Amino acid sequence: MSGFGNAFSSSIGKKFIMGITGLFLILFLIVHCGINALIFFNDGGLTFNVGAHFMASNWLIRAGEIVLFIGLLAHIFQALRLTLQNRKARPISYTVTDGNANSKWYSRSMGLLGTLLLIFLVVHLKDFWVVSRFTGIPSTDAQGHEDLYAVMREKFQDPVRVGIYLLGIISLCYHLLHGFASAFQTLGWNHSKYNGIIKGAGIWYSIIISILFAAMPIAFHFGLIQ
């Protein structure tokens, strides 16, 4: 490895890790959102439970889950290191700053949004991941699959939980609004012919993913799907 020197420990190297893991998590969200959106078939969760069963039983997906956790931890760990370094780079802060004059608030608040996301993630993993992997899903559906759909329906009867999920999704939306295009810029993929596409795709991606995710607790809570 000596040939690579400080490839990942320099300032730009650390940013590469943020960008690569960020894009990886963006890809994961597409899969996550896609499988979850099967609930909108509104067939009592039969289709969704097939998807959930596949995700829980396929060995390739289970191995991918480990890579996902490594990617997530790398993203968090690297963000902490970078933030601490950035704090040290300005030991005395300004009395007056006018950040809104030159940048978007959410681009300057990625650390705060990320922390909110992490808190949400702890609640979220406890709600579903721990149940489906460890403590066990209590019932099965008509086709004999574990009824994760029923777990969702039951959890989202609680308005506080729905509120926490919506706050988490809003944080996610703004985190993605900056993060998507930012990852491309960090990895050097800035090109006059593609910049518009990347920026546009980032905005559409963030909004569509967030609306789909937000629709899930809302639909369950208000009984729009059974």
Note the residues at the interface with other proteins (CB under 8 A).
2-7, 10-16, 82, 85-86, 88-99, 101-104, 107-108, 110, 178, 181-182, 185-190, 192
SS (H, E, C) the chain: CHHHCCCCCCHHHHHHHHHHHHHHHHHHHHHHHHHHHHHHHCCCCHHHHHHHHHHHHCHHHHHHHHHHHHHHHHHHHHHHHHHHHHHHCCCCCCCCCCHHHCCCHHHHCHHHHHHHHHHHHHHHHHHHHHHHHHHCCCCECCCCCECHHHHHHHHCCCHHHHHHHHHHHHHHHHHHHHHHHHHHHHCCCCCCCCHHHHHHHHHHHHHHHHHHHHHHHHHHHCCCCC
Residue number with CB closer to other proteins (151 or 177): 177
Distance from C-alpha of 160 to C-alpha of 184, rounded to nearest angstrom: 36
Question: Distance between CA 203 and CA 119 in Å, rounded?
Answer: 24
Between 60 and 96, CB nearer to other proteins:
96
Task: Name the amino acid, one letter, at 90.
Answer: R
Least separation in angstroms between residue 66's CB and other proteins is 25
Q: Which is nearer to other proteins, 82 or 166 (CB)?
A: 82
Token reading at 212: 């789909």
For the bound state, the minimum distance from the C-beta of residue 175 to other proteins, rounded and expressed in Å, comes to: 12
Which of residues 107 and 132 has its CB atom nearest to other proteins in the complex?
107
Nearest approach, Cβ of residue 173 and other proteins (Å): 18
Tokens 């030159």: give the residue.
102
Least separation, in Å, of the C-beta of 115 and other proteins? Answer: 15
User: Whole-angstrom Cα distance, residue 132 to residue 135?
Assistant: 7
Closest distance of CB 136 from other proteins, Å: 42
Shortest spacing between CB 148 and other proteins, in angstroms: 37
**Least Å distance between CB 104 and other proteins?**
7
